[in-house]
């Protein structure tokens, strides 16, 4: 568990299982090696045991030199928070925090609640705006407050409506804002729909399976942020996994296939 504080007001907790960190020997070997190609090969050998299917633009394993971790799929380093964020969407100045796996549902609810609040404010002020329009509102500073409040509520509603609509589209496509601008790269090249597993499953990944809890601010997102199902229905038939090797937990067998690796992580994802 990595905990970072900023201005003593905000705390980010990012969970990196031990196997995403380099062992002492691997880290020493990686840091002492000066040849970039050999460094890439060291990371590639380590990543064969991990459920990592995305790559950097160069085709190399995504490694964060600042956090000293192999990045899980859809994880990115935030220069403001100074840490890697699981399934990072963007850094939001409104909430002064990163929007990612652990709080994406709450961000969507924040937008929806804000829209509802703007509608409530505009609707309650509108009757006084009509009085102002026909000249029935008494003269005084209050009438300018009414005008200001109505137009600000309407402008915020319009801006939030576009932002909320855009993120609803991202959820339907199972993309983050970063992935919408730069498609995730797999072994066989970039693919914007690499994590798109259908509208129903895309919604469940963010909001969970219990629809009664979708609009309640409790964490119901599926998985742990380290593994995400791929587009293909059977990961064992996915060409991305053909040469991924195997993942061993607690000294598992070297004979495990890449399909079994994906199956293990798929089970973890569903059970989390």
5: which residues sit within 8 A by CB, 6+ positions away? 11
Rounded Cα distance between 73 and 71, Å, is 6
- 226 burial type by CB count under 10 A (0-12 exposed, 13-18 middle, 19+ buried): buried
Token pair for residue 46?
């380590």
Token pair for residue 37?
């190609």
CB atoms within 10 A of CB 14: 22
What per-residue string of b and e applies to 111-143 under the rule 16 or more CB within 10 Å gives b? beebbeebeebbeebeebbeebeeeebeeeeee
**Length reported for the chain:** 272
74 within 8 A of 87, measured Cβ to Cβ: yes
- Known catalytic residue: 67? no
Q: Which of 81, 92, 98, 168 is catalytic?
A: 92
Beta bridge partners of 21: 69
57: which residues sit within 8 A by CB, 6+ positions away? 185
Q: Which residues are part of the catalytic machinery?
A: 92
């Amino acid at each position: 568990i990595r905990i970072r504080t900023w201005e003593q007001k905000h705390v980010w907790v990012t969970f990196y299982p031990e196997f995403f960190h380099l062992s002492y020997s691997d880290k020493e070997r990686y840091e002492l090696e000066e040849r970039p190609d050999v460094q890439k090969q060291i990371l590639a050998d380590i990543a064969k045991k991990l459920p990592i299917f995305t790559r950097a633009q160069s085709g190399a394993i995504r490694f964060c030199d600042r956090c000293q971790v192999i990045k899980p799929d859809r994880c990115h380093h935030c220069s403001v928070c100074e840490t890697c964020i699981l399934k990072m969407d963007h850094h939001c100045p409104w909430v002064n925090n990163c929007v990612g796996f652990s709080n994406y549902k709450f961000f969507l609810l924040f937008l929806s609640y804000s829209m509802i609040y703007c509608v409530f404010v505009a609707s309650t002020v509108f009757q006084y705006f009509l009085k102002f329009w026909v000249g029935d509102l008494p003269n005084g500073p209050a009438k300018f407050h009414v005008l200001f409040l109505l137009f600000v509520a309407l402008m915020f509603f319009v801006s939030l409506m576009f932002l909320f609509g855009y993120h609803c589209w991202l959820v339907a496509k199972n993309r983050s804002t970063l992935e919408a601008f730069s498609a995730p790269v797999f072994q066989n090249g970039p693919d914007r729909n690499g994590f798109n597993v259908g509208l129903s499953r895309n919604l469940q990944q963010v909001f969970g399976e219990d629809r009664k809890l979708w609009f309640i601010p409790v964490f119901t997102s599926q998985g742990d942020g380290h593994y995400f199902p791929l587009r293909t229905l059977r990961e064992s038939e996915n060409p991305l996994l053909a040469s991924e090797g195997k993942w061993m937990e607690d000294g598992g067998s070297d004979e495990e296939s890449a399909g079994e690796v994906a199956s293990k992580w798929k089970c973890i994802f569903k059970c989390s």
